[in-house]
Amino acid sequence: MESQKKTFWHYFKKRRMAVGGLTLILIMFLIASLAFFLAPYDPGKTEVSMKLKAPSFQHWLGTDQLGRDIFSRMLYGSRISLSVGFVAVGISIFIGVLVGALAGYYGRWIDSLLMRFVDTMLCFPSFFLILAVVALMGPSIFNIMVVIGVTSWMGTSRFVRAEFLSLRERDFTQAARALGVKDSRIIFRHILPNALAPVFVTATLKVASAILIEASLSFLGFGVQPPAPSWGNILTEGRTYIFDAWWLTVFPGLAILITVLSFNLLGEGLRDALDPRLRGRR
């Protein structure tokens, strides 16, 4: 196990873009966790006399139409955007791994039934399904996390199923069966740890996707509701003043771009480092 970790890190650190993405993600997590201390102003405090002020030493990223400090709102918005991304992906990965493991290990009618359900779910356009469910349930942070999670697990289930179909025929699995080990123990203690490599890559890329979906929902008015700040609704509020106050759209747009790009770069680096067929590629 230790040699595997060293081998992974040896190949991962060669991907400078991936290391850069990981560094940016860690910095964002640090900033989000310290938002309460780093924010110079209350993100919800309004001061009409200071509305639509350009970036300055007093307000580093300017103010919005209500005089609220954009830098403070961006800091607090990072907590919401990252939380939505990780909780939603956690739900998605849990469902996907469970369905894929059961389908791949047991096969036969269980596999057919679960995979036909996956195919049915894939027939629906994901974003419009999310939009419809959120519209019915009502926009809130909790609803957004759950809806994104329960509508984005299908790809993970297919990856896990493919790994289980291969691993269930290996010698260590057959030996465990011969010893009378329970199926649940074989699935979760013997096979699953060896099938997690593609799951890590998928999870990283899905975090970026979830952050984009949350921003899109907030932009359309179905996401995080004001006065709670998120990058998406800051962007929404700024579109009305796009020609008069460019900073209202540029800074949250850049935050979303950099975050999504960082997770995508990290996911690509993980894929290259975990797949032996790609390790020689620079």
Overall average pLDDT of the 28-38 stretch = 90
User: Residue 65: what pLDDT?
Assistant: 87
Quick count: other Cβ atoms within 10 Å of Cβ 141? Answer: 17
| Domains of the chain (ranges, CATH numbers) | 69-278 (1.10.3720.10)
Q: Look up residue 235 and give its two tokens.
A: 């962007």
Which residue reads 């890590």 in tokens? 200
Map residue 69 onto helix, strand or coil.
Answer: strand
User: Residue 51: what pLDDT?
Assistant: 87
Give the pLDDT band (50/70/90) at residue 27: very high
63, β-bridge pairs = 69
- Write down the H helix ranges in the chain: 2-12, 16-33, 35-38, 70-106, 108-122, 126-137, 141-150, 154-167, 171-178, 183-185, 197-220, 231-238, 247-274
Looking at the predicted structure, is the pLDDT value of residue 94 above 90?
A: yes
Q: Give burial (CB, 10 Å; 0-12/13-18/19+) of 242.
A: exposed
Looking at the predicted structure, is the pLDDT value of residue 117 above 70?
A: yes
What's the mean per-residue pLDDT of the chain?
84
Rounded to whole angstroms, the Cα distance separating 229 from 99 reads: 35
Overall average pLDDT of the 173-193 stretch = 83
Q: Give burial (CB, 10 Å; 0-12/13-18/19+) of 59.
A: buried
Residue type, 112: S
